[in-house]
Amino acid sequence: MTMTGPQASLKTEGVEVIETPYRRIHTPIPVPESRELLERLRALEPRSMGGQPPVVWQGGDGVTVHDPYGNRWLDFSSGVLVTASGHGHPAIVNAIRDIAGQGLYHAYGFPTDIRRAVLEELTAWLPAPLGRVFLLTTGAEAVECCLKLARTLGNRRGGPDKNVIVSFHHAFHGRTMGAQLAGGIPGLKSWLGGTGADAFVQVPYPDGFREPDTGFGVFERALEAQGVAGERVCGVISETYQGCNAALIPPDYARALRAWCDRTGALLILDEVQAGFGRTGAPFGFSHLGIVPDLVACGKGISGGMPMSAVLGRDEPMDLYGPGEMTSTHSANPVCCAAALANLQTIRREGLIENAARLAPVLREGLERIQRAADGQIGRIDAIGLVGALQFTKPGTTEPCPAPARELVRRCVAQGLLLFAPVGVGGAAIKINPPLLIPEDALREGLEVMERAARDLPATDAQS
Ligand SMILES: Cc1ncc(COP(=O)(O)O)c(C=O)c1O
């Protein structure tokens, strides 16, 4: 997720007391007593860690997060699309407690029964021919693994020149080197110079906004214009919806891309780090597209909060490496496995995917109302399942305009609605992604807070 804004302001605002079943604000935000903690963090960490609204998390319960000072927020962030089954879910808390209580919180690659259990759970979510799972720790790590498998298989199929990875403008795949090369955000890779960049090419993403033509011809023409023959491509990677907005790949485009990959012998890799496990109102983002990729990178919502990611794939790429050649110290960490198992079972047992699908129209209508309230400042809205995005633009253009986006987040946080800092192109997109178990009245309440806060937004930065 790209966060490009400044550090959050620590300037304390006046108090507007709020008391609802989901929100309680009775101090200025930031809380004056929290200043020392916030300043200590700033003194000890790189500046990059200071981007989020200054809300001190002490704990959570379902769709709310509270601080140590008696304030409570309705959570529209899920952290960063992680806490799919909410905060402090008893099934997850107990699973973590039980396994840690057995003294099992690390096992490297030695066999464990909890690893077997979570692998069986995960494979039950997968359509054929996806049947193998490699557990890792972060989303970027899963992406790196997919890129490595595509390059390795390309080499086997077509020699060293079958090494090009195609990805999409504005894509975000994480912050490790390969993931950033595959990303489509030039600013994020200026530090990389030319190293290896020739093996990564980008094409327009069919979002129907910054690229109005959503036909597959754009993909083929973009490769041709960059002098890349299909035989040189070993892999194509895309998010199923781009994290910087919430625009799903159009199904016709996805089917044409699948056929193109089959024709050229490239692996189709979908990055489901955000979309996976119910966020879009279906098990995976690709469940909406009528295709099955060769490899899937997952993370975030897989475990409900513990650091776990996964590569899901077909036998051929997944078996390219021999024993010990594709491992990581914290692969399949037992505490993460226990949390993931409890989280995935909770998503199924409590019908959270169905809840996301059922509430999707409520979210979309709410975003439309917010767009109207913002009076021309929101150029584009996207919503699918329980993920939505508001892209702030200079009126009548696709040019990002971050100042009103930041101000809307600041106002919402002061009103007890938790959002993370704006992301995406120019740091001008607000993402709305509550835990998947959110009840309808809570969703409506949060959307109303946003609608009120969207009125009379300044076009310039209120914090500077
Ligand atoms: C689509 C997508 N891919 C990959 C990543 C990277 O995941 P992580 O931060 O766990 O490395 C993210 C994180 O925001 C993401 O949104």
Of ligand 1's atoms, which has the minimum distance to the CA of residue 140?
A: 11
Predicted local confidence at residue 194, as pLDDT: 47
- How many C-beta atoms surround the C-beta of residue 217 within 10 A? 10
Cβ atoms 378, 390 nearer than 8 A:
yes
147 CA to centre of ligand 1 in angstroms: 14
- How many C-beta atoms surround the C-beta of residue 309 within 10 A? 27
275 CA to centre of ligand 1 in angstroms: 10
Among protein residues, the one with the nearest Cα to ligand 1's atom 4 is: 173
Token reading at 78:
């899920």
What angle is formed at CA 143 by the lines to CA 138 and CA 144, rounded to 5 degrees?
95
Interatomic CA distance for residues 416 and 63, integer angstroms: 12
Question: How does residue 232 score in pLDDT terms, banded at 50, 70 and 90?
Answer: very high
Percentage of the residues of the chain whose pLDDT score is greater than 90: 89
Q: Which of 146, 147, 270, 300 to mutate to test the pocket of ligand 1 (most atoms within 8 A of CB)?
A: 300
Question: How does residue 463 score in pLDDT terms, banded at 50, 70 and 90?
Answer: very low
Q: Write the pLDDT tens digit of every residue in 279-320.
A: 999 999 999 999 999 999 999 999 999 999 999 999 999 999
3-state percent breakdown (helix, strand, coil) of the chain, nearest 5: 40, 15, 45
Residue 326 contacts by C-beta under 8 Å, 6 or more apart in sequence? 134, 145, 148, 320
Interatomic CA distance for residues 19 and 445, integer angstroms: 12
Q: Write the pLDDT tens digit of every residue in 60-95.
A: 999 999 999 999 999 999 999 999 999 999 999 999
- What are the CA-CA distances from residue 152 to residues 5, 165, 258, 267, 309 (Å)? 37, 12, 20, 11, 21
Interatomic CA distance for residues 59 and 78, integer angstroms: 13
Interatomic CA distance for residues 1 and 460, integer angstroms: 24
17 CA to centre of ligand 1 in angstroms: 36
Q: Which of 180, 239, 274, 423 to mutate to test the pocket of ligand 1 (most atoms within 8 A of CB)?
A: 274
Of ligand 1's atoms, which has the minimum distance to the CA of residue 300?
A: 10
Q: Write the pLDDT tens digit of every residue in 312-346.
A: 999 999 999 999 999 999 999 999 999 999 999 99
Interatomic CA distance for residues 194 and 214, integer angstroms: 30
Cβ atoms 136, 310 nearer than 8 A:
yes
Question: How does residue 16 score in pLDDT terms, banded at 50, 70 and 90?
Answer: confident
Predicted local confidence at residue 374, as pLDDT: 97
Question: How does residue 5 score in pLDDT terms, banded at 50, 70 and 90?
Answer: low
Percentage of the residues of the chain whose pLDDT score is greater than 70: 94
Residue 464 DSSP SS3 = coil
Question: How does residue 1 score in pLDDT terms, banded at 50, 70 and 90?
Answer: low
Q: Write the pLDDT tens digit of every residue in 387-425.
A: 999 999 999 999 999 999 999 999 999 999 999 999 999
Predicted local confidence at residue 179, as pLDDT: 85
Of ligand 1's atoms, which has the minimum distance to the CA of residue 1?
A: 14
DSSP string spanning 265-319? TPEEEEE-TTTTTTTTSSSSGGGGTT---SEEEE-GGGSBTBS-EEEEE-HHHHT
DSSP string spanning 19-80? E-SS-EE-S-SS-GGGHHHHHHHHHHS-GGGG-S-S----EEEBTEEE-TTS-EEEESSHHH
Token reading at 132:
């193998």
Q: Which of 82, 137, 273, 279 to mutate to test the pocket of ligand 1 (most atoms within 8 A of CB)?
A: 273
Q: Write the pLDDT tens digit of every residue in 92-137.
A: 999 999 999 999 999 999 999 999 999 999 999 999 999 999 999 9
Among protein residues, the one with the nearest Cα to ligand 1's atom 5 is: 174
- What are the CA-CA distances from residue 457 to residues 14, 64, 410, 417 (Å)? 18, 26, 11, 17
Token reading at 83:
């806490």
Q: Domain ranges in the chain?
A: 18-85+352-453, 91-349
Question: How does residue 190 score in pLDDT terms, banded at 50, 70 and 90?
Answer: low
* CATH match for 18-85+352-453 among 3.40.50.720, 3.30.465.10, 3.90.1150.10, 3.20.20.70: 3.90.1150.10
Beta strands in 113-179, from DSSP E residues, in sequence order: 132-136, 164-168
- pLDDT over 60 (residue 461): no
Ligand 1 interacting residues, C-beta cut-off 6 A: 1, 138-140, 143, 172-174, 239, 243, 271, 273-274, 299
Question: How does residue 464 score in pLDDT terms, banded at 50, 70 and 90?
Answer: very low
Order of strands across the sheet that contains 164-168: 132-136, 309-313, 295-298, 267-271, 233-239, 164-168, 200-203
141 CA to centre of ligand 1 in angstroms: 9
- pLDDT over 70 (residue 444): yes
Question: How does residue 462 score in pLDDT terms, banded at 50, 70 and 90?
Answer: very low
- How many C-beta atoms surround the C-beta of residue 93 within 10 A? 13
Question: How does residue 195 score in pLDDT terms, banded at 50, 70 and 90?
Answer: very low
Packing angle, helices 334-349 and 113-124, rounded to 10: 40
Predicted local confidence at residue 178, as pLDDT: 82
Order of strands across the sheet that contains 429-432: 378-384, 387-392, 429-432
Residue 380 DSSP SS3 = strand
DSSP string spanning 166-226? EEETT----SSHHHHHHSS-GGGGGGGTTTTGGGEEEE----SSSS---STHHHHHHHHHT
Using the CB atoms, write b or e for 97-124: b if 16+ within 10 Å.
Answer: eebeeeebeeeeeeebebbeebbebbee
Question: How does residue 13 score in pLDDT terms, banded at 50, 70 and 90?
Answer: low
Among protein residues, the one with the nearest Cα to ligand 1's atom 6 is: 174
Closest to 246 in 3D by CA, of 85, 382, 131: 382
Instruction: Tell me what the pLDDT averaged over the chain comes to.
Output: 94
Predicted local confidence at residue 261, as pLDDT: 98
Using the CB atoms, write b or e for 397-409: b if 16+ within 10 Å.
Answer: eeebbbbbbbbbb
Question: How does residue 3 score in pLDDT terms, banded at 50, 70 and 90?
Answer: low
91-349: which CATH topology?
Aspartate Aminotransferase; domain 2 (3.40.640)
Residue 318 contacts by C-beta under 8 Å, 6 or more apart in sequence? 132, 134, 149, 295, 311
What is the arithmetic mean of pLDDT over 354-383?
Answer: 97
295 CA to centre of ligand 1 in angstroms: 16
Interatomic CA distance for residues 259 and 328, integer angstroms: 33
Interatomic CA distance for residues 63 and 22, integer angstroms: 8
Burial of 11 (0-12, 13-18, 19+ CB in 10 A): exposed
